Amino acid sequence: MNAYEIAVIPGDGIGPEVVDATLPFVADAAEERGAAFETTRFEWGTEYYLDHGEMMPDDGLDRLAEFDAIFLGAVGHPEVPDHVTLHGLLLPIRKGLDQYVCERPNVLFDGIESPLRGYGGGDVDFVVYRENTEGEYADIGGREHRGFDHETAVQSALFTRRGTERIIRAAFEAATEREGHLTSVTKSNAQAHSMVFWDDIVEEVAAEFPSVEVERLLVDAAAMDLIRRPHEFDVVVASNLFGDVLTDIGAQITGSMGLAPSGNVHPGPEYPSMFEPVHGSAPDIVGDGVANPLATVLSWSLLFDDLGEGDVADALWDGVADQLADGSAPRTPDLGGSAGTEAVVSDLRSRL
Ligand code: NAD
Ligand code: IPM
Ligand code: MN
């Protein structure tokens, strides 16, 4: 039996709801397939911030670095500004543990009705490779002359050759394992420095992958085409901000924010990767017991896949697919049902 040490950060809002509802079931499913894991729970987040003045302790990243993987619920609280909470916990982990590949699958499952007319199960299946450590999320800039008419804000984007090349190469590698089609999304008609640089690197890396067919889209056209012809996408590679925006579209056209999983992957052995649902803390439904736990289960599936535990990963993924395909299974309100989080998890348990 392989045994793993997993750090769990439930975080804010519905984060603890979906993490606590899924953890015992996921632990059993893993153990039954020969992958035991111990969790260490870190109660970091906005409550911690209100008590301690920081979202996590100073040595937080060093402590996380010791684990085999990290699972995170969500971060964000109506009482504290988002730039404080996200810059205090989620974003420093992605950057500090060099989790440069943000991998976000977008799959329209059987039994799920897409808001797009005519699309059924299996018709949408693409993965977004989002750069996760720099780009528009670089913490470079400042505000000057506060309160004056000439008050100024500067926010610079950072595109390094190393950072750009490695996410593009990771996306090409993924394309060779999938359908061999890669869409690079930029805005090089307007952003003539960083995005033309990105295009140049796509061209360089493409030479190493002659079997991959490369398409380039401007981000506005990509937003349109993800709605107009989502069936044609396979692997999408984009900068940090563009990848963020496009994956909310991906979640919605495949049924719900409550079904979208995500991995923040550091591909080497130096640091652990972190897995989390794409959604946030959903303050509008917190405490109602209706948060969809399936994005969380699918994110656990990505975690086990990354650890090399394919059987566990497949069991969790297939269990979700099986439940969604069953018209009589419980569903949360985001999928048009009236069941709660717990009912969905216990049904899933019975399927595995
Ligand atoms: P959100 O994802 O929290 O919610 C958007 C909408 O989707 C809401 O109507 C919500 O009820 C619904 N939703 C989300 N997850 C759901 C689930 N599992 N089941 C059913 N419905 C679900 O995005 P938001 O409202 O823009 O942001 C709320 C807070 O979360 C903000 O503080 C934001 O900064 C933060 N946020 C954090 C993360 C993260 O931790 N990774 C991601 C996105 C937003
Ligand atoms: C996401 C979220 C985060 C991001 C926010 C909360 C900083 O929207 O994980 O998609 O932009 O990466
Ligand atoms: Mn987002």
pLDDT at 298: 99
Measured on CA atoms in the order 277, 283, 285, 287, is the torsion positive or negative?
A: positive
Ligand 3 center to residue 28 CA distance, Å? Answer: 30
Asked whether residue 259 carries a pLDDT value surpassing 90, the answer given is yes
62 CA from centroid of ligand 1 (Å): 28
In the numeric block, which tokens belong to residue 153? 């804000």
Contact 301, 313 (CB under 8 A): yes
Pair 198, 268: CB distance under 8 Å: no
| Residue bearing the CA closest to ligand 1, atom 36 | 280
Residue 82 is among the residues annotated as catalytic for this protein: no
User: Helices (DSSP H) in the chain: which residue ranges?
Assistant: 14-32, 46-52, 60-65, 82-88, 90-96, 161-177, 194-206, 219-228, 240-253, 294-306, 310-325, 341-351
pLDDT of residue 186: 98
Q: What is the DSSP letter of 80?
A: B
Following CA atoms 352, 275, 113, 131 in sequence, which dihedral angle do they give, to the nearest 10 degrees?
Answer: -150
Q: pLDDT tens digits for 269-278?
A: 999 999 999 9
Q: How far is the CA of 168 from the centre of ligand 3 (A)?
A: 20
Q: What's the whole-model pTM score?
A: 0.98
pLDDT at 1: 87
Q: Where are the alpha helices (DSSP H) in 229-335?
A: 240-253, 294-306, 310-325
Per-residue pLDDT reduced to its tens digit, 51-107 = 999 999 999 999 999 999 999 999 999 999 999 999 999 999 999 999 999 999 999
> 253 CA to middle of ligand 3, Å?
15
Residue 12 annotated in active site: no
Which two tokens mark 37?
């894991």
- For the chain, the average pLDDT equals 98
CA distance 98 to 288: 35
> Average pLDDT for residues 150-154, to the nearest whole number?
98
Pocket of ligand 1 (CB under 6 A): 14, 18, 74-76, 82, 86, 90, 257-258, 276, 279-285, 291-292, 295, 332, 334
Q: What is the mean pLDDT of residues 227-242?
A: 98
Active-site option among 244, 305, 334, 347: 244
Rounded to 5°, the CA angle 157-170-281 comes to: 60
Q: Cβ distance 70 to 63 under 8 Å?
A: no
Smallest CA separation from ligand 2 atom 3, residue: 244
| Separation of alpha carbons 4 and 10, rounded Å | 18
Q: Catalytic: which of 4, 98, 125, 187?
A: 187
Domains of the chain as residue ranges with CATH = 1-100+260-352 (3.40.718.10), 125-253 (3.40.718.10)
Q: Is 51 a catalytic residue?
A: no
**Do the Cβ atoms of 68 and 224 come closer than 8 Å?**
no
pLDDT digits (tens, 9 = 90+) for 278-333: 999 999 999 999 999 999 999 999 999 999 999 999 999 999 999 999 999 999 99
Q: Which atom of ligand 1 is closest in space to residue 296's alpha carbon?
A: 18
Tens of pLDDT, residue by residue over 28-39, are 999 999 999 999
Marked catalytic residue, from 137, 234, 271, 334: 137
Nearest residue (by CA) to ligand 2, atom 5, is 86
Instruction: Give yes or no: 137 in active site.
Output: yes
- Ligand 2 atom having least distance to the Cα of 241: 11
